[in-house]
Amino acid sequence: MRDFGRVITAMITPFREDGSLDLDGAKALAGWLVENGSDGVVVAGTTGESPTLSHDEKLALFRGVKEAVGDRAAVIAGTGSNNTEASVGLTREAEACGVDGIMLVAPYYNKPSQEGLYQHFAACAKATRLPVMLYNIPGRTGVNLLPETVLRLAQLENVVALKEASGNLDQVSELLRQLPPHFRVYSGDDSMTLPIVALGGYGVVSVASHLVGLEIQAMIRALVQGRLAEAQRVHLKLFPLFKALFLAPNPVPVKAALTLLGQPAGKPRLPLVGLSEKEEEQLKRVMEEMDLLPHQPS
């Protein structure tokens, strides 16, 4: 099974001015991300506005991004939803598109029990030969994928990773204490990458890597090589950006930031709306302080 790498970008989905899918923009952005620190990209995940993407748009993104990056990076298809049958079907179709892995978010809104979560994820994982990453984000889904359920799922051969965004380091510690050595835990929150990797996590599924992928790579590399002070310096330097990218619901700020850099992004689809004037000024100020904005000719 393919190694997903340490820095995976939860890629935005670019849209055109009329709100239609910008597939050429998605291909170009994926290539740019790979050149700037991303070992892999998640396509049509929640940062990619998956709830507003049609079935055909998702398949076009899976094919197009894989075509664009080839074997230079892992392409992980976001196929999870709160409808098990639909998730199973999309997972099978994603594999046929040639992607390298699958990401499955915990079912949202309907709040299944831990047994329901297990059965949902197991059904999806058994529908594919590809490696599967689970995604726990209770703040958005309304349900917490508990360590005991992750441990059960880790017994399935192709369930190999977890994107953990509960914000609970005790939960992360419990997971890392019991999971088999091959199973990899990724931070699902940029500001938690340093502590999670320090505990034994493997990497991050990142939003900020759209902008600072190489620096996040350097931080993780320093940490795993035992250069803690260096990793701390990078984390503290990037911390204001981590927070600024959540001034508004994700992916609204990062799409605005990419637009400022001249990268394909476009506006979010409703029900998300763009940044307010005040929020955009805050984001610009942080980017200027970090020397991320293109220099204007004098």
Q: Report, as residue numbers or ranges, the catalytic residues.
A: 135, 163
Instruction: Name the residue type at position 228.
Output: L
| Cβ-contact 92, 103 below 8 angstroms | no
Burial class (CB in 10 A: 0-12, 13-18, 19+), 262: exposed
Q: Which of 246, 214, 268 is nearest to 48 (CA)?
A: 268
